[in-house]
Amino acid sequence: MNKIVSRLVRLFFVSTFVFGTFSILACAQDMKKDDEMKKKNDAMMKKDGEMKKDDAMMKKDGEMEKKDGEMMKKEDMRPIVAVIRADWCPYCKKLEPIMMDLMKDYGEKLNFVVFDITNDETIAKSMELAKEKGLEEFFKENKDKSAFVAIFKKNKEVFKAKYKTERDIYVKEFDKVLMSK
């Protein structure tokens, strides 16, 4: 009887160790994936930041004439592509590489704005960005939707999609909005 109890105790400790090891490995893999997604997100936010710099340069270049001693600035009239994403969203993980590629192709013609709803901190930053871009109402109404894309032309929403990860859909809609008056 004593040997059986001893073996059961040993079996318990060995199985606890093995399952604990697997749990640690699984957590490590999840952390690695989270780090990779954070890097992608940072790259995407950096790209958005670069576009802000480009917008500032355009405003500087777009100074038109003096009116009552002040410079009038040309507004960015490009259609806006608003993307709402989150680190925890599986659809966002599929959508982000597509959007990054489309930003390269359409960055001169469309104004891409990325809103991150991963956590309270990123939501607060996204709300500030929404106010800055004139999309505050849109963001308030949709801040609970991840993998959400909307296109605005002349401050009017002309397209929206949720969980769509096919590049062709966006190419068609981007081209359509660029061709319309």
State pLDDT tens for residues 47-95: 555 444 444 434 433 333 344 444 333 457 899 999 999 999 999 999 9
The answer to whether 99 and 112 have CB atoms below 8 angstroms apart is yes
Helix (H, G, I), strand (E, B) or coil at 155: coil
In a domain, 111, yes or no: yes
In a domain, 1, yes or no: no
Residue 149, pLDDT above cutoff 70: yes
> Would you say how long the chain is, in residues?
181
158: CB partners within 8 A, 6+ apart: 79, 151, 152, 177, 180
In a domain, 124, yes or no: yes
% of residues, the chain, pLDDT over 90: 54
In a domain, 47, yes or no: no
% of residues, the chain, pLDDT over 70: 59
In a domain, 9, yes or no: no
Task: Return d(Cα 80, Cα 59) in angstroms, integer.
Answer: 17
In a domain, 37, yes or no: no
Task: Return d(Cα 118, Cα 115) in angstroms, integer.
Answer: 9
From residue 21, give the alpha-carbon distance in Å to each of 12, 16, 24, 180.
Answer: 14, 8, 5, 58
In a domain, 133, yes or no: yes
Residue 167, pLDDT above cutoff 70: yes
CATH number, domain containing residue 170: 3.40.30.10
C-alpha torsion sign, points 140, 86, 98, 42: positive
The answer to whether 72 and 133 have CB atoms below 8 angstroms apart is no
In a domain, 77, yes or no: yes
Q: Which amino acid is at 60?
A: K
Residue with tokens 């780090």: 35
Structural domain count, the chain: 1
The answer to whether 40 and 96 have CB atoms below 8 angstroms apart is yes
> Domain range holding 173?
52-179
The answer to whether 150 and 157 have CB atoms below 8 angstroms apart is yes
